[in-house]
Structure 1
């Protein structure tokens, strides 16, 4: 086991590992933040409503003792599952019910309303499931005394002594953890190794730029106890340097090597470094790890901070430091922040929001040189000749795929270094898969044209599909891109694939920061973003997931012209 992680506030007491394992199968009692599917008699019954009080396609929150459940009527059947998303706790009753699943209104996670199982991401855990029956026209929901958690872990296997297979996962992000958990959930009982070059257990990387002072332990996806119970051998400070596809062997920087029967590569990206004089000065920072984030947060207090790059990392850090630094200046090549993704109008409104908070912008510009004194940065020289004071600089100009160790392996890469995979996340080499930011994969939204998408949600979808295909299940990647950003406490959501959009159709009020933007290409909507307009992005994501098209004419007069596609009678 690699570096440990302390328990989170909601985790339960540690498992007795020896008691938790029997004949290669684990029981999840006591695992972090989750409850197990109950195998005991249900011992609480609650009369929640009249049967006719819930209509087809409706969701209602009901109290079951001191627990809140989500009562659903879908295709004439009543079911009940946990009421809050297992990712960040959003109320699922505010989400989208369609064709047997509910999609979270905040970040798009999807759950089966019959089983409670998580079916799309983000998040790791499923929902608790309640038993429902109708008696004399009354809806009765049953629960067990063991169902005290808002999260449920699917049953997972452990390593069996008589299984000699070795499955190796390289990388310590969302794709890797989801891949490992899926393997155990699907009954894999061989040796399972997750090797990461990071010094800590896998953590929620999306929180790095939104809460810079978090420790790796505080944002860990699972604690050390979890990995121990389910025989997931997490090896930290383990950087891959070579893959021998003939010998099925990965060599690491520390000189060790691991032979594998199946391999998933999910090494993510490496921050792009500035190429200009002074780039090696102290306090010219990149942001990739919790240690980086903590350092930037601490060093930025009361100081002059320059941020190079006006995309998501740069803007989230600027929002965090705006009230803490002496000054924050953002240097970007585009005319407004986030322009390539969100468009000119939305970017312009976000620019105004930041300026209202005291952030200064230097747009359509770039850095010529960093000037230092006594080895530390003090000024930024811009290409237009201007200079900015800077006690610290954050460089957020994107990432490159961390795939240099694959050179000479025969694993096929594209010109930018991404690993080329098919719809099964398979590379051109037998029993080698790739997932997450490094993967160029067929995106169904574009008619299976290849795409690279660096979103947390998509990385998890990749990880799950890679795991299923490591086990020979022939599962295809079929997930709608969904991401979010938080700026000054305001959450902006986005779904779809907007590359190459030719027009933005806006509804709502940009000035009031309550709007929805539809990104169109020709006659079709290819992506949707919103702020304070929930759950419209999740509604659009469900339409996309159903393989349906939102036409430009449907949203020309108002934002809800496509919602009829989610009505039960429209289901196919």
Structure 2
């Protein structure tokens, strides 16, 4: 319409101006005024009579074929870099319509595939939408996962711009909001074999990425547990969660993708020079490339060596069987009578304390920690104290600056814990949340693979530890770009991303790990989200109120956030 107006004005002025003796038009004030008058008449005739209106919404149309036409509104109502959630007639699910800064519009599923959180409450970043709960992100162009912890992508929907209105074509009935990755394999045509040792987050991410990248060789996934890959994070957050509810992929998925599963199997020896490994079943498996992502164990020597550790009633929270035993113990004694002591005041311990108080309604819960306040090593004293106060308000008791001397009991059952400060805590149930160790003995004696003093394996930013040997997850000690130092991070989303990077490099994609680490914890209805990785800091800048537990804190080291 602007172009039409300008053209009409120019034409009107030209028509109103008389011709001079030299054949060129003469322009005077009266001629310009006359031209504007002619332009206005022409503009009205063209835009209001000859041209149809572009502001009226199109008429509602019935679904055609297997699609519903959804009018998502006038495109001019979408600011660039924003998104809107749109209802779909006759469907419970909604769609998300996103307009990028570049101006293009895309339609996708509306919920995060990791936690079903509404994505419209998140943010748009470049061509991605980022979930506000756990920072999973999805590319709106194709629905693919661009950052963990999500495994499944979003469905995408075709759309047209009709008379300035966004018309989205949604299949009827709508598909489930999760879109599984394209990991099918028609045949194992390639002669090469890739073995992935460890069936956790990193291992699953790796084998899915390999098939998604059209690697059609043999893939073997080895896991020491008997379960299919599951969401381990849920164990400390919900003791009643079944293995089935935590399982990330069904058996049929691995069958369709021709991924060979070797569960309940432990690798006892890696021979990198011979390119094979040995299992506890006595098998020798050859490979062309191998990914090691066997994680850690919570059976830490600084706990297992304490007198009385092997008594009934003392548990770690690492596998589904652990949570089941703990839940059975609570049921047997009763939440009003059982006395629970948690060793460890970081994430596992504090999440367990919140669960026992809030969900299990246990009256007597005590946390024992070596530091002055909970979370001190990771979050600092001020944030740790604020979160510790929240627990205290809910009835959780604390014994800080304390270590365990012995676990005392009767008839093989724990009854109390003796601390190094002289106190004795009655206990019917003890939860150990005191960190993990990396069991990498099977890697030792391999020239070219460097094992750090804590058992982790040193690798580069492509997750390569040696030629054709890659590592990911808890056992990977890698150079983190933001601190320019080698470190090890025990985060779920880091493991997923590193498994993906390792897999891409095993098929020659030349990828590097450059994600920003992110983790989260939810306790007593409050969510703490941590972005980045601060090994040390010189100051903390607090925005908001620690006392009210509504805050953002910036960790600063040498003027760097």
TM-score range, shorter chain: 0.7 to 0.9
> Where does residue 311 of structure 2 map in the other structure?
281
Matches of 2:389 and 2:163, distance apart in 1: 59
**Does 2:85 align with 1:55?**
no
Q: How big is the shift at 1:215?
A: 2.1
Tell me the secondary structure at the aligned position of residue 168 of structure 2: strand
**Does 2:238 align with 1:208?**
no
Q: CA, structure 1 residues 479+161, in 2 after alignment: closer, same or farther (shift >3 Å)?
A: closer
Moved more, 151-160 or 77-86: 151-160
**Does 2:550 align with 1:523?**
no
Matches of 1:356 and 1:345, distance apart in 2: 17
Native 8 Å contact 1:120 1:461 kept in 2: yes
Matches of 1:132 and 1:42, distance apart in 2: 15
Matches of 1:443 and 1:501, distance apart in 2: 16
User: So what's the TM-score if we normalise by structure 1?
Assistant: 0.82
Native 8 Å contact 1:42 1:142 kept in 2: no
**Does 2:181 align with 1:150?**
no
2:159 to 117, 126, 132: 132
Higher relative contact order (CA 8 A, sep 6+): 1
2:458 to 395, 402, 420: 420
Native 8 Å contact 1:482 1:494 kept in 2: yes
> Where does residue 335 of structure 1 map in the other structure?
372
Q: CA, structure 1 residues 161+90, in 2 after alignment: closer, same or farther (shift >3 Å)?
A: closer
Q: CA, structure 1 residues 400+205, in 2 after alignment: closer, same or farther (shift >3 Å)?
A: same
User: So what's the TM-score if we normalise by structure 2?
Assistant: 0.84
Matches of 1:313 and 1:365, distance apart in 2: 18
The superposition leaves residues 272-303 of structure 1 with CA deviations (integer Å, 9 ceiling, x where unpaired) of 14132212222222221000011122223431
2:344 to 283, 286, 309: 309
> Where does residue 559 of structure 1 map in the other structure?
none
Native 8 Å contact 2:184 2:256 kept in 1: no
**Does 2:192 align with 1:165?**
yes
> Where does residue 67 of structure 2 map in the other structure?
43
Moved more, 433-442 or 351-360: 351-360
> Where does residue 273 of structure 2 map in the other structure?
246
Equivalence map 1:268-417=2 (5 Å): 268-271=295-298, 272-273=300-301, 274=303, 275-300=305-330, 301-302=334-335, 303-322=338-357, 323-410=360-447, 411-417=449-455
Q: CA RMSD for the aligned pairs?
A: 1.6
Matches of 1:114 and 1:415, distance apart in 2: 44
Q: How big is the shift at 1:51?
A: 1.6
Q: How big is the shift at 1:41?
A: 8.4
**Where does the alignment leave 5 or more consecutive residues of structure 1 unmatched?**
1-39, 526-572
**Where does the alignment leave 5 or more consecutive residues of structure 2 unmatched?**
1-63
Native 8 Å contact 1:425 1:434 kept in 2: yes
Matches of 1:220 and 1:521, distance apart in 2: 40
Native 8 Å contact 1:157 1:188 kept in 2: no
Native 8 Å contact 1:173 1:202 kept in 2: yes
Native 8 Å contact 2:363 2:395 kept in 1: no
Native 8 Å contact 1:159 1:190 kept in 2: no
Equivalence map 1:104-123=2 (5 Å): 104-123=131-150
Matches of 1:282 and 1:385, distance apart in 2: 23
Matches of 1:132 and 1:373, distance apart in 2: 70
The superposition leaves residues 63-120 of structure 1 with CA deviations (integer Å, 9 ceiling, x where unpaired) of 2332411111111111111111111011111112121111111101111121111111
> Where does residue 480 of structure 2 map in the other structure?
443
Matches of 1:127 and 1:161, distance apart in 2: 28
> Where does residue 220 of structure 2 map in the other structure?
193
Matches of 2:186 and 2:219, distance apart in 1: 8
Q: How big is the shift at 1:221?
A: 0.8
Matches of 2:136 and 2:515, distance apart in 1: 11
Matches of 1:240 and 1:170, distance apart in 2: 8
Q: CA, structure 1 residues 159+169, in 2 after alignment: closer, same or farther (shift >3 Å)?
A: farther
Structure with a larger share of its residues in helix: 2
Moved more, 214-223 or 158-167: 158-167
Native 8 Å contact 1:41 1:144 kept in 2: no
Matches of 1:161 and 1:435, distance apart in 2: 25
Matches of 1:438 and 1:342, distance apart in 2: 22
Moved more, 200-209 or 502-511: 502-511
**Does 2:114 align with 1:83?**
no
Report how many residues are paired.
484
2:528 to 488, 492, 498: 492
The superposition leaves residues 364-404 of structure 1 with CA deviations (integer Å, 9 ceiling, x where unpaired) of 11111111111111111110111000112111110011212
